[in-house]
Amino acid sequence: MSIIERTNYPKSPKRRKLNKQELEQGYSISSDEHIFINKKAKTELSKLNFAIQLKSFQILGYFVGLDKVPEEVINHIRQQLKIHYKIKAGYSLYNKTIYRHRNRGCLQSPPFFRFFNNSYQQQPF
C-alpha cells in the first residue's frame, strides 16, 4: 500500500500564476463545450461552476473543490462565458448541484477515466 504523500496525482498550480498561453491551451472552452454547458446548466452561476468542474476534470483527471482552482482560471472561464464578475464561483452548503456537475454521466466520462483507461478517446459532445 502506498503512502498518501507519495501518490502521484496531478495538481492545480496554486503556487504560481498561469500565463496566458497555459490558460488558453488548457482552460479554453470550445464551441462544442459551450453548447454542452448551456444545455446542462440553466443559471449563470451553474454555468460557471459546471464549466470550472468540466475543465478542471479534463486537465487533472479528477474533481477538485472550487477553492483549489486558481483565481485566474476562474476568471478566464468567466470571461469566455461572458458572466459578470460579481457572480462568484461556488456551491452553497446544501446545494445538490455539485453532485450533478460531478456525475460521470453528465460529464460523459467512464469510471477511472484517466488513471486506468489510457485508450480513452474524448468523444465530441
Question: How many CA atoms lie less than 13 Å away from 9 in the CB half-sphere?
Answer: 14
Asked if residue 72 belongs to a domain, the reply is yes
Asked if residue 102 belongs to a domain, the reply is yes
Rounded CA gap, 50 and 9, in Å? 22
Asked if residue 26 belongs to a domain, the reply is yes
Handedness of CA 28, 32, 38, 41 (dihedral sign): negative
Asked if residue 6 belongs to a domain, the reply is no
Q: Judge contact between 70 and 18, C-beta under 8 A.
A: yes
Residue numbers of the domain that contains 86? 18-107
Residue type, 9: Y
Q: Look up the pTM and report it.
A: 0.68
More confident residue, 16 or 85: 85
Asked if residue 124 belongs to a domain, the reply is no
pLDDT digits (tens, 9 = 90+) for 58-110: 988 888 888 888 899 999 999 999 999 888 888 775 566 666 666 655 566 55
3-state secondary structure of 72: helix
Asked if residue 97 belongs to a domain, the reply is yes
- 106 φ/ψ angles, rounded to the nearest 5 degrees: -70, -40
Greatest Cα pair distance in the chain: 47
pLDDT digits (tens, 9 = 90+) for 22-31: 889 889 999 9
What's the grid cell of residue 56?
A: 478542471
More confident residue, 123 or 110: 110
pLDDT reported for residue 30: 94
Asked if residue 1 belongs to a domain, the reply is no
Asked if residue 3 belongs to a domain, the reply is no
Question: How many CA atoms lie less than 13 Å away from 8 in the CB half-sphere?
Answer: 2
Rounded CA gap, 11 and 32, in Å? 26
How many domains, in total, are found in the chain?
A: 1
Which residue has cell 453532485? 99
